[in-house]
Structure 1
Amino acid sequence: MIRREFILGALAAIAAAPAIAAPPAGARRPNIVFILADDMGYGDAAAYGQRKIATPNIDRLAREGMLFTQGYAGAPVCGPSRCALMTGLHTGHARIRDNTAIAGGKTGTKGGGTQLWRRPNLLPEDRTVAQYLQAAGYRTGLMGKWHLDGFEANATPPKFGFDEFKGWLIQFDTTPGYWPAQRVHGDKLVDIPENANGRHGRYEPFMVTDDAIDFIERHREAPFFLYTAYNSPHSPFTAPDFGPYADRAGWADDEKTYAAMIHYLDQGIGRLLDKLASTGLERDTVIFFASDNGPRSEPTVQQTRVADFFDSNGGLTGYKRDMYEGGIRDPWIVRWPGKVAAGAVTDVPVYFPDFLPTALDLAGAAPERTDGVSLKPLLVDPGSRPAERLLYWEFYDPEFRQAARWGKWKAVRLTRGGPLELYDLARDPKESTNLAARHPDIVARMAAGMAREHVASAEYPDPGPATTTKPGKG
C-alpha cells in the first residue's frame, strides 16, 4: 500500500472527457519518451515511499508531473508485459502471454545451456506503437531491452517500427546482461571490446543512457518516439560500485549493490532530463516512466531477502510472477511541462495497454485495435476520469492464472476453472481478505468479464483443466 503521507489526495469523479481532436495543422506534435525499469517494485522509488534508496530524478518526474497510485504493468513478468506495452493488447489477446509458449514460437537455448526453451515472438501481423508512430511521421528509437523476439530472426525491433535500435536480443547469448561482450545495433552484432573476455569495462545501463541522449540530439528537430528500456534493477545484482551506499552500516553487499543499481538508473534518467532541457525540448516532450512488473527477479532466498529489506513491493502482497498487487502494480509517472499539472496525483487505475492509444492520441493518429484507452484527457485534466472498465491479465507460470480489476474490485484465479478470489482494494490493498463468499454478484460479473477477455491463441491454446509451461527467466 502506498504510504499515506505520499498520497496528496484522491481526485473527484466526473463524466468521461470527450475525445481529443488531432493537433491543428502546423502545430508541433510532442515527442514521446517511455522510460522502462526492469523488475523495479512499486515501493522502490522515494516518490512511492522508499526510505532507504534516494531517487531524486524519478521523484522530480513525479513532482513535475502526474503520479499514478494505481498504475499496472501488462503482466507479472517481462516478455508479456512489454508485449502489452508495445501492442496495446492485454494478455488475453496479445501474442506473448508468458516468457515461454505452450505451442508455436520457436525453440532454442540460452546462456550456453542445453535445455530447450519454447519462446513466443511477435509475428508480421502484429502492430506496435512504434509502427503506428513511424507511419505518422515520428522518428522511432529503442535503446536497451526488447524481449519480444524469442528465437525468431525476423522479430527484431527494426521489423516492428523502430528506425534505430541499440540493445540486446534473446536470440544472441553474447548480448544480454550488464557487461555484454556484444550488442545489437539495428540487426548487426557489434563488439564491446571493454567487456571482452569477461571484463567489466562498460556498464549496460550507461550505454542505454548514452544512446538515448545521442538519439535525442540527432532528432531534436522532428517529433520522435524514444523507448528507453533499462535492465536495472533486474538480477543479477551487479553495478560498477556501491555508489553512495558503500558505507551503509548493517547493509549486506547485495543490498548495497541493489541500491546502487537503482541509483545509477535514476542518474541515467536525470541525464535524459538534462538533455531535454538543454536542447529546449522539455516542454515539447511527454515522458512516461514505469516498471515492467513487480520486484524480485527470481524467487530465491537472496532476492527475497533483498526485496524485503527495501520493502520493494511497497507493502503489497506478492512479487514478480504473482497476480496479486505486488506482482503487477508498479510505479507509473507521466510528465509533460505546461500540459500535465505539476504534482498531480491520481488513483485512476491504468495499465500498459493504455500507452499505445495514449501515444497515438498525442500524435493525432488512431489505432486499428487496442484493449486500452487514451489517458490524454486525464493527463491534461486531472479532474476527468475514464469510464469504469475491466482491466485484465492472464499468465501461464506455473499454470494458467487470471486477474481482473473493475473499479475497487480485484479478482484473482490461480488455477484453470478454479474459484475466484475477490478483494476490495479500496479497503484492503494488501488483498488479505477474500470477499468472494459475501459478494456472489460481483464474483459472477468478474468471472463473466474474465471469460470474455480470454481468447485462446496458437501459442496459448486451451488444452483442458490445467496448463503448464516451462518458466522463462524475465
Structure 2
Amino acid sequence: MSKSTIILSTLLLSNTIGVMAQEKNEKPNIVFVLADDMGIGDVGCYGQKKIKTPNIDKLAEQGLLFTNHYCGSTVSAPSRCSLLTGKHTGHAYIRGNKGADSAEGHFDLHLPANETTVAEILKEKGYATMCVGKWGLGGPKTTGSPINKGFDYFFGYLNQGAAHRYYPEYLYENEKKVMLNKKVYSHFLIMEKGLNFIREHSEQPFFAYFAITPPHADLDYPNLSEYENEFPETPFINKNPNGGFKTQMKPKAAYASMVSEIDKNVGQIIELLKEKGIWENTIFIFSSDNGVHRVGGHDPDFFNSNGPFRGYKRDLYEGGVRAPFIINWPDVIKTKRTTDHITTFWDFLPTVAEIVGAAPIKDTDGISYLSLLTEKGPKPQNHEYIYYEFYEQGGKQSILKDGWKLIRLNMSKPEKLKEELYYLPNDIGEENNLIRQKPQKAAELRKLAMSAHTHSKHFNWKIRK
C-alpha cells in the first residue's frame, strides 16, 4: 500500500469518527486507569491464577486485549512522560526518575513549557481534564505542574517519592497541600476525588486519568481478610531505621489485596459511568506503568507476575517493559478481540489526537492505533523499532526491530560494557544470547540504537556509539 493511500485512508477514517461524534452530538469520554508497578501476569486475562481480577477480565471479555504492548519506560516518571507526550525515551524530556529543586522544595524533574501533553490537546477540544494519583513530572509552580500541563484538576502525590507511603502527611489538591496527618489511606481518598470529578463533569466530554499508586511498595493495605490465609508467607522486616519499605508480615496477602483493590476500582468507575448513562460512549483503558517490582517483600515469581517474560522493573528485558493493555469502547468495539500488533505508550497521544480530530502532532514517535479499535481503514503502520534508554544500574539501552533485540548494559562504564542479542519469535524468555553468533545483526542494531538517542542535558552516558 502506498504512503499516499495510507494518508488518504487515515483522513477518511478520522472524518468517519468525526461524523459519528457529530451525529451523536458528543465526543467520547476517555478514562485511563494506570496501575503502578503491576506486572502483566497479575491480571486474570493475562494468565493470573491466584489473584482475583473479575472486573478487569470482563473489560477484556468485552473489549480489545493487546498482547504486544510496551510501556514508556521501566520506571515511573519516564513512562508517564512517554504516555502523556508521545515520545520514547530517546527523545523524551524526562528519561529517568530524577529530582529537581524548585521554590516549593525538592520535587521531580519538571516538564518544560514547550512539551505538549495529551491533556492539553483534549482541553483545547473542550474536554474537562483530571489526574488523580501520582504525577511525578514536576512540582507546584513549575512548568511541569499538572495544572500547567492541561489538567483542570489534580489530587494526589506531586512527588513520586512521597507515593511510597499510603498514610502520608499530606497530598496536593492542584497546588495546595491537604493535610492528612498520616491518618488516611491515600488511595481511598484519591479514588473518591476521581469519581467525584466524573460525577461533576458527566454532562461534557472528559479525560479522567487515574494514575493510582497500588500495588507499588509499601505493601500496605488496611484489610487483608480476602487473602490473609491463602498463601505461605515470608514476613518482610524493615531493618533500615532511616527509611526503606515498611515491615509487612504478610506480603503476599498485601500484594494480592492491592491488585484486587485496583480491580474493584475499575468496577466502581464502570458502575458510575453506567449510572450516568455515558458508558457506551467512553473509551476505557487499563494498563500499568512498567514491569512488576520485587521490593518490600513482594515475590513476583510466586504470582508469576511477569508472565512468560524475563526481568522486572528497572530491567530492559521484556518483563520490565511489557504492560497489560486493555481498551473497552462499547459504541465501537462490539465483540471480544485480541491484537498482537505492537503498540506503545507513545502511541496514546497520536491516537487521542486522531479520535478528537486535533491537528496531527508532528513531534511524536507514536503511531495512532485508532484503526485497531474501529476495524476501519488500514492497520496502523508498524514501528520501525522499539527503543529504550535507562540511566540507573550502570546505564542501559535496548532496541527491538523485526524480532531481534539488542540490550546494552553498563553504558556509563565503558570498561564493563556488556551486550546481549535475542530473537524474540523463538525466545520470548530471552534465554539464548546470540551476540557471538550474530555480530553483524548486533552491529546493525547498535548503530540504529544510537541514532534513536538524542542529546539530553539531564541524562547522559559515557558511551557514545
Given the two structures, how large is their TM-score scaled by the length of structure 2? 0.86
Deviations 1:169-216 (A, max 9, x none): 11895x762122322111111123xxx2x43xx322222222222111
Residue of 356, 359, 362 corresponding to 2:352:
359
Correspondence 1:88-103 to 2 at 5 A: 88-100=86-98
SS at match of 1:106: strand
Unpaired runs of 5+ residues, structure 1, are: 1-14, 111-116, 467-474
Change (3 A) 1:108 1:412: farther
Cα distance in 1 for partners of 2:130, 2:104 equals 28
SS at match of 2:407: strand
Aligned to 2:210: 228
Q: Is the 8 A contact 1:119 1:151 kept in 2?
A: no
Q: Counterpart amino acid of 2:442? A: V
Q: Is the 8 A contact 2:110 2:143 kept in 1?
A: no
Residue of 158, 165, 186 corresponding to 1:177:
165
Correspondence 1:29-428 to 2 at 5 A: 29-100=27-98, 105-106=100-101, 119-149=108-138, 153-170=142-159, 177-192=165-180, 196=181, 198-199=182-183, 202-248=184-230, 250-252=232-234, 253-296=250-293, 298=295, 302-303=297-298, 306-365=299-358, 366-381=360-375, 385-389=379-383, 390-416=385-411, 418=417, 420-428=419-427
CA drift at 1:251: 4.1
Q: Is the 8 A contact 2:164 2:217 kept in 1?
A: no
Q: Counterpart amino acid of 2:179? A: D
Cα distance in 2 for partners of 1:140, 1:92 equals 28
Q: Is the 8 A contact 1:16 1:385 kept in 2?
A: no
Q: Is the 8 A contact 2:134 2:159 kept in 1?
A: no
SS at match of 1:437: coil
Of 411-420 and 75-84, more deviation after overlay is shown by: 411-420
SS at match of 1:244: coil
Q: Is the 8 A contact 1:141 1:227 kept in 2?
A: yes
Change (3 A) 1:16 1:438: farther
CA drift at 1:152: 6.8
Change (3 A) 1:191 1:403: same
Q: Percent identity?
A: 37
Cα distance in 2 for partners of 1:444, 1:311 equals 34
Of 403-412 and 391-400, more deviation after overlay is shown by: 403-412
Q: Is the 8 A contact 2:108 2:137 kept in 1?
A: no
Cα distance in 1 for partners of 2:301, 2:109 equals 32
Q: Counterpart amino acid of 2:264? A: Q
Q: Is the 8 A contact 2:39 2:290 kept in 1?
A: yes
Q: Is the 8 A contact 1:150 1:171 kept in 2?
A: no
Q: Counterpart amino acid of 1:149? A: G
Q: Counterpart amino acid of 1:185? A: E
Moved >6 Å (runs of 4+):
107-110
Change (3 A) 1:433 1:154: same
Cα distance in 2 for partners of 1:134, 1:458 equals 30
CA drift at 1:381: 1.5
Deviations 1:240-275 (A, max 9, x none): 111411231534511011100111111011100111
Aligned to 2:237: none
Cα distance in 2 for partners of 1:445, 1:387 equals 22
**How many residues are matched?**
432
Q: Counterpart amino acid of 1:213? A: L
CA drift at 1:42: 1.2
Deviations 1:382-434 (A, max 9, x none): 99543232111110002221112223222211133745422221221100112
Deviations 1:316-354 (A, max 9, x none): 111100000111111111111131243211111111101
Cα distance in 2 for partners of 1:143, 1:369 equals 27
Q: Is the 8 A contact 1:149 1:156 kept in 2?
A: yes
Cα distance in 2 for partners of 1:453, 1:150 equals 29
Cα distance in 1 for partners of 2:292, 2:145 equals 27
